[in-house]
Amino acid sequence: MKKPILSIKPLQALLASALLLSCAASPSAVAGQPNILLLYADDLGYGDLGCYNPASKIPTPQLDRLASEGLRFTDAHSSSGICTPSRYAMLTGRHHWRDFHGIDAGFDKPFFKPGQLTLQEMLQKNGYATACIGKWHLGWNWDSIRKPGTPQKSKKHDDFDWSKPFRGGPLDHGFDHYFGDNVINFPPYAWIEDDRVLSAPDITFKTTPQKIKEGHWECREGPGRSDWDFYQVLPTLTKKGVEYIRSRKGADKPFFLYFPLPSPHAPIVPLASFDGKSKAGAYGDFVVQTDDACGQLLAALRQAGLESNTIVIFSADNGPENYAYARDEKFDHWSAAPLRGLKCDIYEGGHRVPTIIRWPGLTKPGSVTGALFAQIDLMATLASHLGFELPTNAAEDSHDFLPFLKGESTNPPRTTMVHNTFKDIYAIREGDWVLVDAKSGAYRPPSETWREKHQVPAYDGQPAGLYNLRKDISQRNNLAKEHPEKVAALRALLKKIREQGHSAPRLARNAEPAAEKP
C-alpha cells in the first residue's frame, strides 16, 4: 500500500500557521505599541517657558498645556552645551565626549560610527515607521556628490553634482524618511528630502540678503538656493510635520517622528505675524512661534485620533545663546532663569533643559519630578518598554527610567551625570553636589551688569567650583575650599566614569566579577 502524499494545501496552511506564531512571538510585532513624537527645540532656555518660569516674558500656552497633561522634569539635561553632541548622545544613549566634542561645521562626515545602533534604528528594527523632519546636523557623506578634481574643502555650489543622492544621513542611520534643510544657518541652503536636494543650489552664499531681527545671522558661507527664505524654514517644517502625522492615521504600524526644530536658534527670524507677541524682543517672539509650531503638531495628533496612543517628549539641545545677556538687560527676561550659564557653558544653564513627557496611561497629568534625568536615558527606557535587549556595545550611558515612570520604584535610577562641552573641561554631578572641574564653567564671561544684577561673584581664584544645587541652584557659592574631600571624591568618580567606557547600570552589572564558590 502506497503512503499518502501530503497535499500542498495543508502544507501551506501549516507554514502559514507557523509564520503567524513566529510573528506573534517576535519583538518586531508591535501592534498596539504607542507612537512616539519627539519635539526637540534648539537653543531654548530653561526659563523661557511659562511652566518653568512664572516670571517669563514669553507666552508659551501650547507647551504649558503639554506640561499640564504630562510629567515635567525640573532636573533634566542634555549631554552637551552645544547642538551636534547633544543630538548624537540622545540618539545613541552614549555620552558624546567619549567620541568627540565639536559640532558639524558644515559638510562634515557622519558622526555616527559604522554599525552603531541608534534610537531610531532600534525602533525601526522593532516595527516602527521612522521619520526625521527638521534639523539634522549630524553629518552626511557629501564627498559622494563632489565633482572630481574640486578642492576637498571647497563649498562652492558648482563643486557638487546635486542630481545625485548623497548617503550617510538619516536614511543610513535608522530613518525611513527625512525632510529638512540640514541646519538653518549652515549650507546647503536648500530643501533635502530623504537623500537628495529637491532643487539644486544655484549660488554660493557669502552674505545673507534678508534683514535680521535680533543678534547676528550666524550663517556660514556655502551653496544655496537664490530664492531661499530663512523666514519660511520653521513654517515649512511645521507643515511637513503635520502632514506626516495625518498620514499615519489608520497605518498598520506605529511611528516615531523625531522633529528637531530649527528654533529659537539664530538667525532669529519670527514671521511678521508673531512680532510683538512676547515682551522679550524678537527672540521671545521666535519662542512664541516655536511654541505655536509644537501646538500644530499636537493638534494634528488630536485631529487624527492618535493622541491617546502617542508618547510625546519635548526637550532642547542646550541652553540659550549669548544674546541672552543683552535680552536680560533690555527686557528683564533671563532665558536661563534661575540658572547660571548659557549655551556652551558647563554651568547648569548650559545643559539643564526643559523636558516634558506625556505618556498616556503612564505619566500623571500635571505631575512634576525633581529626579535627575538625562536625554541619553530615552534609549534604555524605550528599549525596556519594547522588551528589546540592548547589546553591550550600545546605549553605554543610558539608564532605564521605565520602572520609575510606572511608579514601581520611588528611587530615580540616575544619581550621577557628567557635563561637558569642550575637550578637557568637565563637570560631574553626584546627588545634590556638582563639581565644575575648571577655573570657570563659562565659555564667555558675563557682563559686569549681569553679574551684579544676579549677584554672581567674580572669579575667586580657585581651580574648581563646588556647588550644592539643593541649596544653591544658581551656583553662586563656591564651596571647594570648605569641602576639599568632596572635590577629591568627585574628581575620582569623574575619572572612573571616563575611563571605564560606560555608566549604564546594566553594563556595570555585567562587568561585576562572579562571586567565588565557597
Q: Cα separation of 311 and 33, whole Å?
A: 10
Cα 28 from Cα 514, distance rounded (Å): 33
- Provide the grid cell at 230: 530663512
Q: In the beta sheet, which residues pair with residue 419? A: 427
Q: Residue 121 in contact with residue 173, Cβ under 8 Å?
A: yes
3-state secondary structure of 361: coil
Beta strands in 231-347 (DSSP E): 255-260, 310-316
Place of cell 503567524: 20
User: Phi/psi of residue 262, each to 5°?
Assistant: -90, 5
Cα distance between residue 340 and residue 324, in whole Å: 12
Whether residue 163 contacts residue 274, with contact meaning beta carbons closer than 8 Å, is answered with: no
* DSSP-derived secondary structure for 437-489: -SS-S-SSPPPHHHHHHTTPPPP-S-SSEEEETTT-TT-----TTT-HHHHHH
Q: Which three cell numbers stand for residue 143?
A: 564627498
Residues in contact with 186: Cβ distance below 8 Å, sequence separation at least 6, in sequence order: 104, 105, 106, 137, 219, 220, 222
**What does the block give as the cell for 79?**
549631554
Q: Which CA distances in Å does 427 have to 159, 232, 399, 412?
A: 43, 38, 19, 21
What cell does 421 get? 562641552
d(CA 45, CA 29): 39
Cα separation, 311 vs 304, whole angstroms:
15
What number of residues does the chain have? 518
Q: What is the pLDDT of residue 58?
A: 98
Characterize the bridge pairing of strands 177-182 and 192-193.
antiparallel
- CA 330, distance to chain mean position in Å, is 30
- The DSSP call for residue 211 is P
Q: Which domains does the chain have, with CATH numbers?
A: 32-409 (3.40.720.10), 426-505 (3.30.1120.10)
Q: H/E element holding 435? A: strand 433-436
CA-based angle 111:114:115, to the nearest 5? 125
Task: Provide CB contacts within 8 A for 263, sequence distance 6+.
Answer: 41, 42, 184, 234, 286, 287, 289, 290, 293
Kindly report the number of other CB atoms within 10 A of residue 366's CB atom: 12
Instruction: Kindly write down the DSSP assignment for every residue of 39-56, as one continuous string.
Output: EEESS--TTTSTTT-TT-
Query: Distance between CA atoms of 174 and 91, rounded to whole angstroms?
Result: 10
pLDDT tens sequence for the chain (518 residues): 333 333 333 334 333 333 333 333 333 345 689 999 999 999 999 999 999 999 999 999 999 999 999 999 999 999 999 999 999 999 999 999 999 999 999 899 999 999 999 999 999 999 999 999 999 999 999 999 999 999 988 889 999 999 999 999 999 999 999 999 999 999 999 999 999 999 999 999 887 777 889 988 899 999 999 999 999 999 999 999 999 999 999 999 999 999 999 999 999 999 999 999 999 999 999 999 999 999 999 999 999 999 999 999 999 999 999 999 999 999 999 999 999 999 999 999 999 999 999 999 999 999 999 999 999 999 999 999 999 999 999 999 999 999 999 999 889 999 999 999 999 999 999 999 999 999 999 999 998 999 999 999 988 889 999 999 999 999 999 999 999 999 999 999 999 999 999 999 999 876 554 444 33
Please tell me the predicted confidence (pLDDT) of residue 31: 63
